A = this chain, B = another copy of it.
Amino acid sequence: MDDTSETRRVATDYVDSLERRDWERFATLLAEDVVYEMPQTRERIRGRAGYLRFNVEYPGDWHLTTRRVVADGRFAALWLDVRVGAETMDACVWLDLDEHGLVRRITDFWPEAYEPPAGREHLVERW
């Protein structure tokens, strides 16, 4: 497999193993020194053990569906549909793989709903 195919497989497995709470398989995808960042809160977790625990402890009955996976060399981007009970939101996840095909960096964005600014009603429709 070339880098892109391998990256696409890892990105797909990343979501699938999270959704299944298959922690053993999830851990095998991660580099020992993986770094997880959430720029919106300026939070960072260093290392596989900590990031695994973060996911194991993450509250709520959350469920992930992949809307889009885009893989390119050792980079991937995931657009996820995340559901927690009746609440649904999008996530944008950026993965960097190392030379062994392990995830070494994850950057997670959680864009929240907000009211649009005034002044562009003449151009947009709402749904």
Contact = CB atoms under 8 A, between A and B. Distances in A.
B123 A50 contact: yes
Contacts of A8: 72
Interface in A77-93: 77, 79, 90, 92
- Name which of A43, A72, A125 has the most chain B CB atoms within 10 A of its CB: A72
Contact of A41 (B69, B115, B123): B115
What copy number does this chain have within its complex? 2
Contacts of A4: 72
Nearest to A119: B59
30 contacts: A4-B72, A38-B116, A39-B111, A40-B111, A40-B112, A41-B113, A41-B114, A42-B127, A43-B125, A44-B127, A45-B124, A45-B125, A50-B123, A54-B120, A57-B120, A59-B119, A69-B72, A70-B76, A71-B72, A72-B72, A77-B77, A77-B92, A79-B92, A79-B94, A90-B109, A92-B92, A92-B109, A92-B111, A109-B111, A111-B111
Interface of A: 4, 8, 38-46, 50, 53-54, 57, 59, 68-72, 75-77, 79, 90, 92, 94, 107, 109-116, 119-120, 123-127
